[in-house]
A and B are shown apart, each in its own frame.
Chain A
């Protein structure tokens, strides 16, 4: 009796002292404070209840944002953690999309299709094929670094865009395009109105997948693979000297990053009706880079924050057009809302790189540090 009481007091000794880590497990815990645990729980609850609170159009944008976020996490692993600058992300997204579209496509349709609509089959397949493509490209990265690698991956996008436009059996051709993959989960159709509307169902799907992909990436980042990535980013020669297998790790980085890109590509377009092959162009690659930069290089949460900011930017420019009369919504005007959006992308990149190089996450950590160091400044 006495022992259990004192035992409780002793357990409290460690639970009430967040810095007193008595095991490696508690030292490495992702949600290491009570505040973090509650915040993440609240965020998930809010996320899961959003379909009841927001209009369908908004949900579609958020679902797209989640798919973007998965792609951005992939690029974050490659660029933010392993330091390999890649402009080829759109190409891998395309590979993933067409893999999924072909597997789940209508066998009687205009473009090639096998009619396997189960997402548990076509999503991993999309990821794996993209990962294989990534692994094929990876040897280039072991020979090149920095700007040269960026140029080579840029070439990849151009080649991809050409192939996608010409290979009409798969892609439906440059002008026509093809429908996105059909989404069935255990036989239940998600991309058509059922018990809930299509945007509601897709939003839930994307949110759950985003959480899964993000947790996997976060765990990867704190494992030996993640540490090898960071070592390569900080100085690849030094990493090689301390025993990191550069060829292997860079290949792993490209493969995993491409897996994420492939899944993101397959998922993103499920909300639309028809996809044109010129979607997978340089602009999409740059968009992913923007997400990573604005979100905050080197953090998974940064990739997610950046992706949602970019996904919701059109909504913001539309609102801006309502408030500022000189921004027109007609496409033929010089300063229309789509131009404003591009200008904003540019301004955001310049602004963040100049004033907040650590991105949205940097702003947050600055706020948090202000309070965690209170009443001192360090």
Chain B
């Protein structure tokens, strides 16, 4: 069996030995780039592994033992990868925290994981940790990366002696390395496939986050799958692939694309300056493989639409013409599963010279050979648009608990509206009774950290992982996901409705940012709609509608009318019982720090239902409380 061979082979290697291998074979090649003072600074494999070793010695010096947890609370940057690899090298487990995590969640994650050391990016993250220090008795040291605002004031004011700067960690590491040069190789040699490599906390749309333990063997299975080209990119990623790293590294999917692709296949990681600069960084880096969540793809699409609407009339004319062609090409590609016909290839070829090439250069998608969308359902129209302008888009599906290895659409066999075929050696099954999707492969996690009850809930005795997603087979090869099991709405009339279909149909519009469909045990379906400030603001300005804030804008009758027309359009595509009868606009932008979104920008339905209870009561005609 393929699976057993893979498990046997991967127990010997870890992320750390892979990085060491690259440094040994190709010391001068670029492993990653990060932008500093306007220049993309390059880090070679040699210096990557050298720094990681020093950090690992630093961790040894600070008393990190095998099985300990090291937490990282930082934006994506080289130090994240140095720490991650060093942690794996000393056989400890990395715990990533979302930079947007509010102190309450930081407290939960740090205390629950029992992290012994925290690498915090700057004063903001250090402050969050210092505020909850008494709830985290295991936390022995905090290492900060940016000294600004910490060095002088914080240390003195808090009197907290266990606060270290990154240079201090490196200095300790260097001293330890000089004194005990064999300590790290000895520790690494003892590594086994059962070591927990990382603890990834699920985003927790319902309830507190659970820490999924991914072992070294799990990670190695994921890497092996991607290296064979049976993963998200086909042909397999290689040293000549450039990736842009900008989604939180504590999420399994960014870890796949940044760390695992990098260490496994030698692809070059480029760290975006921040989430706000992604469009510029995309244009600079012109990545060859790009993963994004639907939210970002929708935003890219909305950006194209706005900028084209603002273009001068000859450019608008050209855009109109070529966008219609792109629509047709998209239709053809959807029909053929992503393979060009002679006619569509010809049209695209001419369009490439006249228009598509320029558009893709501006968007930073010129060299993208595999664009992957995942982590949440995406509207097919968005995928079709990008396919039409020539970006090979593949919707994929996976979750933390199976190391993001489950299904993906494959080149030439794309089925829109499905999440594709099982990847490589992954087994995927749909339970005939509950329609729940189950996966089984060596990448399936070893369990939730300190939560055997939850583990028993999702892992069956024979190794199947219950994903909690409801799906069906399409033509026996592709999986279509209906919705999260918990999210299915059963109306008072007994009708089962998958809210994500309605929500995504509405989110296709550039004016709509968030939709929450409500209707469980209610007489009819309603929705809370959050408008996109940029696009609706622009729309309002061009109609000379004055507004001040988001709240003000969302109460304008014209804006309500705009959204009403969008809702009507969407309703026509659904049966009467699945139509949104009434809606209200959300008075604020949903935010992670206010507890309305998860770290991955997914809506927490329970929190929304609680916070906007007045709006919901209003939708169902109850008197306001």
A19 and B239 in contact, given A27-B38, A376-B307 (Cβ under 8 angstroms): no
- Complex alpha-carbon distance, A192 and B358, angstroms: 53
- The residue in chain A whose Cβ has the minimal distance to the Cβ of B288 is A13
Q: Say yes or no for A22: interface residue by CB 8 A criterion.
A: yes
- Complex alpha-carbon distance, A19 and B285, angstroms: 7
| B38 and A10 contact, CB distance less than 8 A | no
- Complex alpha-carbon distance, A3 and B307, angstroms: 42
A6 and B284 in contact, given A21-B40, A377-B307, A377-B312 (Cβ under 8 angstroms): no
- Complex alpha-carbon distance, A27 and B40, angstroms: 10
Q: Say yes or no for B355: interface residue by CB 8 A criterion.
A: yes
- Complex alpha-carbon distance, A376 and B242, angstroms: 26
- The residue in chain A whose Cβ has the minimal distance to the Cβ of B37 is A24
A17 and B286 in contact, given A22-B41, A375-B359 (Cβ under 8 angstroms): yes
| A3 and B26 contact, CB distance less than 8 A | yes
Interface string of A9-22 (1 = CB under 8 A from B): 11011000101111
Q: Say yes or no for B108: interface residue by CB 8 A criterion.
A: no
- The residue in chain A whose Cβ has the minimal distance to the Cβ of B27 is A3
Q: Which of A3, A7, A19, A376 contacts B315 (CB 8 A)?
A: A376
A10 and B240 in contact, given A375-B315, A375-B358 (Cβ under 8 angstroms): yes
- The residue in chain A whose Cβ has the minimal distance to the Cβ of B311 is A377
| A6 and B362 contact, CB distance less than 8 A | no
Interface residues of A in 89-117 (CB under 8 A from B): none
* Contact residues in A for B41 (Cβ distance below 8 Å): 22
* Contact residues in B for A323 (Cβ distance below 8 Å): none
Q: Say yes or no for B319: interface residue by CB 8 A criterion.
A: yes
- Complex alpha-carbon distance, A2 and B203, angstroms: 42
* Contact residues in A for B285 (Cβ distance below 8 Å): 17, 20
- Complex alpha-carbon distance, A126 and B42, angstroms: 48
| B310 and A27 contact, CB distance less than 8 A | no
- Complex alpha-carbon distance, A3 and B27, angstroms: 10
- Complex alpha-carbon distance, A21 and B283, angstroms: 12
Q: Say yes or no for B353: interface residue by CB 8 A criterion.
A: no
A9 and B240 in contact, given A3-B26, A21-B40 (Cβ under 8 angstroms): yes
A375 and B362 in contact, given A7-B28, A10-B240 (Cβ under 8 angstroms): yes
A378 and B310 in contact, given A21-B40, A27-B39 (Cβ under 8 angstroms): yes
- Complex alpha-carbon distance, A338 and B310, angstroms: 47
Nearest CB of A to B448, in Å: 40
Q: Say yes or no for B308: interface residue by CB 8 A criterion.
A: yes
Q: Which of B25, B239, B284, B362 contacts A10 (CB 8 A)?
A: B239
Nearest CB of B to A106, in Å: 57
* Contact residues in A for B310 (Cβ distance below 8 Å): 376-378
* Contact residues in B for A374 (Cβ distance below 8 Å): 315, 358
| B39 and A6 contact, CB distance less than 8 A | no
Q: Say yes or no for A224: interface residue by CB 8 A criterion.
A: no
* Contact residues in B for A9 (Cβ distance below 8 Å): 239-240
- The residue in chain A whose Cβ has the minimal distance to the Cβ of B41 is A22
- Complex alpha-carbon distance, A377 and B283, angstroms: 16
* Contact residues in A for B242 (Cβ distance below 8 Å): 13
Q: Say yes or no for B564: interface residue by CB 8 A criterion.
A: no
Q: Say yes or no for A332: interface residue by CB 8 A criterion.
A: no
Interface residues of A in 1-44 (CB under 8 A from B): 3, 6-7, 9-10, 12-13, 17, 19-24, 27
- The residue in chain A whose Cβ has the minimal distance to the Cβ of B239 is A6
| A23 and B28 contact, CB distance less than 8 A | no
- Complex alpha-carbon distance, A13 and B285, angstroms: 9
Task: Sort chain A's interface into a size bin.
Answer: 20 to 34
Nearest CB of A to B619, in Å: 39
**Of listed B25, B239, B285, residue having the most chain A CB within 10 A:** B239
Nearest CB of A to B184, in Å: 26
* Contact residues in A for B240 (Cβ distance below 8 Å): 6, 9-10, 12-13
- The residue in chain B whose Cβ has the minimal distance to the Cβ of A22 is B40
Nearest CB of B to A90, in Å: 42
* Contact residues in A for B284 (Cβ distance below 8 Å): 17, 19-21
Q: Secondary structure of the A side of the interface?
A: loop
A376 and B311 in contact, given A6-B239, A9-B239 (Cβ under 8 angstroms): yes
Interface string of B298-311 (1 = CB under 8 A from A): 00000000011011
- Complex alpha-carbon distance, A7 and B25, angstroms: 12
| A21 and B308 contact, CB distance less than 8 A | no
Q: Which of B39, B239, B283, B358 contacts A22 (CB 8 A)?
A: B39
Interface residues of A in 109-145 (CB under 8 A from B): none
- Complex alpha-carbon distance, A6 and B31, angstroms: 13
Interface residues of B in 216-275 (CB under 8 A from A): 239-240, 242, 268
* Contact residues in B for A17 (Cβ distance below 8 Å): 284-286
Q: Say yes or no for B33: interface residue by CB 8 A criterion.
A: yes
Nearest CB of B to A227, in Å: 15
Q: Say yes or no for B29: interface residue by CB 8 A criterion.
A: yes
* Contact residues in B for A7 (Cβ distance below 8 Å): 28-29
- Complex alpha-carbon distance, A10 and B242, angstroms: 9
* Contact residues in A for B318 (Cβ distance below 8 Å): 375
- Complex alpha-carbon distance, A377 and B42, angstroms: 33
- Complex alpha-carbon distance, A373 and B42, angstroms: 28
| A376 and B40 contact, CB distance less than 8 A | no
Q: Which of A10, A24, A378 contacts B30 (CB 8 A)?
A: A10
| A22 and B28 contact, CB distance less than 8 A | no
Nearest CB of A to B315, in Å: 6
Nearest CB of A to B581, in Å: 39
- The residue in chain A whose Cβ has the minimal distance to the Cβ of B35 is A21
Interface string of B317-340 (1 = CB under 8 A from A): 011001000000000000000000
Q: Which of B25, B26, B286, B359 contacts A20 (CB 8 A)?
A: B286
A375 and B39 in contact, given A10-B30, A19-B283, A22-B33 (Cβ under 8 angstroms): no
* Contact residues in A for B308 (Cβ distance below 8 Å): 375-376
- Complex alpha-carbon distance, A373 and B359, angstroms: 9
* Contact residues in A for B312 (Cβ distance below 8 Å): 377
- Complex alpha-carbon distance, A195 and B33, angstroms: 57
- The residue in chain A whose Cβ has the minimal distance to the Cβ of B355 is A375
- Complex alpha-carbon distance, A17 and B282, angstroms: 11
Nearest CB of B to A68, in Å: 36
- The residue in chain B whose Cβ has the minimal distance to the Cβ of A3 is B26
- Complex alpha-carbon distance, A10 and B358, angstroms: 23
- Complex alpha-carbon distance, A360 and B285, angstroms: 33
Q: Which of A12, A375, A378 contacts B319 (CB 8 A)?
A: A375
- Complex alpha-carbon distance, A17 and B38, angstroms: 15
Nearest CB of B to A28, in Å: 10
- The residue in chain B whose Cβ has the minimal distance to the Cβ of A23 is B39
Interface string of B593-614 (1 = CB under 8 A from A): 0000000000000000000000
| A22 and B38 contact, CB distance less than 8 A | no
- Complex alpha-carbon distance, A9 and B285, angstroms: 15
* Contact residues in B for A6 (Cβ distance below 8 Å): 26, 29, 239-240
| A377 and B30 contact, CB distance less than 8 A | no
Nearest CB of B to A120, in Å: 40
Nearest CB of A to B296, in Å: 19
| B268 and A13 contact, CB distance less than 8 A | yes
Interface residues of B in 3-34 (CB under 8 A from A): 25-26, 28-30, 33
Q: Which of B33, B38, B362 contacts A376 (CB 8 A)?
A: B362
- The residue in chain B whose Cβ has the minimal distance to the Cβ of A371 is B358
Interface string of A360-378 (1 = CB under 8 A from B): 0000000000000111111
Chain A residues proximal to chain B, CB less than 8 Å: 3, 6-7, 9-10, 12-13, 17, 19-24, 27, 373-378
Q: Which 8 A-B pairs have the closest CB atoms?
A: A9-B240, A19-B284, A377-B311, A376-B307, A22-B40, A374-B358, A6-B239, A17-B286
Between A and B, 18 residue pairs with Cβ closer than 8 Å are: A6-B26, A10-B30, A12-B240, A13-B30, A13-B242, A13-B268, A17-B285, A19-B283, A19-B286, A20-B33, A20-B40, A22-B33, A22-B39, A375-B315, A376-B311, A376-B362, A377-B311, A378-B307
Chain B residues proximal to chain A, CB less than 8 Å: 25-26, 28-30, 33, 38-42, 239-240, 242, 268, 283-286, 307-308, 310-312, 315, 318-319, 322, 355, 358-359, 362
| 8 additional contacts (CB under 8 A) given A21-B284, A375-B319, A378-B307 | A12-B240, A13-B242, A17-B286, A20-B285, A21-B40, A375-B315, A375-B358, A376-B308
